[in-house]
Structure 1
């Protein structure tokens, strides 16, 4: 099969995936409230689960139908490589904790991963109506506008970010996050620590911020942003500087002009 054939098929698929993700976004938007939902952990978890179930009810079948033979990665908090073939890696409410707490940073994401390489992604922000898309080899876009990463070359002028992948990560990861923030506060200009990862990565792809790193391999929070940043001209690696894949244990997406300097700061911590 020629390399042009998968690209052409993926480009044709994009409109169907975009429509499905936007429809799912309307479901998540209908569930949003101007007040916090839940005060105890059990209540918060129940609200998060209800969001996921409501969105998946309208998103799963359209995606599987749009790509016959594709499979579904069931656990959105799972990491590591997937078996060969095509998989949908979806976060029905990326930034679910923000949604439940009446904050604005949440989205619906769907990414087609082929043989552990993200090849198509759609990230829809229901509150603003913005839709970020990318197809491998076809660039990254915000609606119809091409995205391009930052042209910065001075880490000292860089706006960077990180965050945790899940609430129950181990203490070693939490310590690394803290050490990395301290190190980057000294080396860079400003550090944002927030969730979810995808919401930070769309800013890297759009050139609004300059780098994002994470000490985690949770696929659903990284695959969409990895493709968007790469297709916008960014550099996506692990914290050893090797090309990132779903099997990588950590993650860095950065503007090319500051990638090496960012690695110099973070690789001793990883």
Structure 2
């Protein structure tokens, strides 16, 4: 298990913040994210046409702004001393303290194209450990939550990863972190898909990463990997998967942190097989 996803010992956790306080904070965060999700749902409908990259970026920003107008003040009231990560595509370790890592429209490009795979996410990171996360799907109303050391849930139902132990019987998925990845990352993505097509039952490729990881935590798929990535892409799903009993590492099986150049989450039974496939 990676350092950033490591769970503090009970005494350490109590020293940082009482468990009940974090549980109450998770409840308040879920309420805030659902309210913000309603704003994004209200903007969903016809395909938003754009003829230039500048038009696309303005449309993406308009969705983000509509959500943040609702979400940011509510989260700031919940935890006034927590910092706020301004850039949702940023990666790497955070400074000391508490930080809100938010993706106001995870899968934003899908939203603009009238596709249903998008969400609103908020994760509280404390001393570079994700403490709690909320992933809300405004179209179907589902809300995934996880609290470090306390498990993961979907609308109150406890989540567990699948018991699959044969990658050849598993559904796996991958995603691209950005549309403008450099050539080396693009080639890694292509070769990894080829490798997994030879090993897994089914390979799914789509954005966003968080929804694949939610499916993994819920036992619907068996592995997810990605090259590069941002904190807002991976932290919510990483906590969901870990709290649902899954494994998180980099693609070579080493401990994962936001500084890692690859990410792998699996059921325990296929982790070694997935690492072997991706390490070819």
TM-score normalised to structure 1 length: 0.96
- In the other structure, the counterpart of 1:57 is 69
2:18 is equivalent to residue 3 of structure 1: no
Residues 162 and 221 of structure 2 are in contact (CA less than 8 Å); yes or no, is this contact kept in structure 1? yes
Give ranges in structure 1 of 5+ residues lacking alignment: none
Q: CA deviation at 1:135?
A: 0.3
TM-score normalised to structure 2 length: 0.93
Q: CA deviation at 1:245?
A: 1.8
Give ranges in structure 2 of 5+ residues lacking alignment: 1-10
Write out aligned runs for 1:1-270 (5 A).
2-4=12-14, 5-268=17-280
Deviations 1:115-142 (A, max 9, x none): 1111100000000000000000110000
Which SS does the other structure have where 1:248 is aligned? coil
Tell me the distance in 1 between the aligned counterparts of 2:233 and 2:77. Answer: 23
Deviations 1:148-204 (A, max 9, x none): 101000010110011111111101000000000000000111110100000111000
- Pairwise CA RMSD of aligned residues? 1.2
Tell me the distance in 2 between the aligned counterparts of 1:137 and 1:87. Answer: 19
Runs of 4+ in 1 over 4 A off after TM superposition: none
Q: CA deviation at 1:6?
A: 4.0
Residues 240 and 267 of structure 1 are in contact (CA less than 8 Å); yes or no, is this contact kept in structure 2? yes
Per mean C-alpha deviation after superposition, the further-off stretch among 210-219 and 6-15 is 6-15
Per mean C-alpha deviation after superposition, the further-off stretch among 32-41 and 51-60 is 32-41
Q: CA deviation at 1:37?
A: 3.5
Tell me the distance in 2 between the aligned counterparts of 1:38 and 1:20. Answer: 31
Tell me the distance in 1 between the aligned counterparts of 2:13 and 2:92. Answer: 26
Deviations 1:71-103 (A, max 9, x none): 001110011111111111000000000000000
Tell me the distance in 2 between the aligned counterparts of 1:74 and 1:249. Answer: 21
Which SS does the other structure have where 2:133 is aligned? strand
Deviations 1:37-87 (A, max 9, x none): 334322222111100011111111111210131000111001111111111
- In the other structure, the counterpart of 2:3 is none
Which SS does the other structure have where 2:203 is aligned? strand
Change (3 A) 1:19 1:37: farther
Residues 7 and 135 of structure 1 are in contact (CA less than 8 Å); yes or no, is this contact kept in structure 2? no
Residues 178 and 229 of structure 2 are in contact (CA less than 8 Å); yes or no, is this contact kept in structure 1? no
Tell me the distance in 1 between the aligned counterparts of 2:80 and 2:47. Answer: 40
Which SS does the other structure have where 1:222 is aligned? helix
Greater length-normalized contact order (CA 8 Å, ≥ 6 residues apart): 2
Residues 117 and 245 of structure 1 are in contact (CA less than 8 Å); yes or no, is this contact kept in structure 2? no
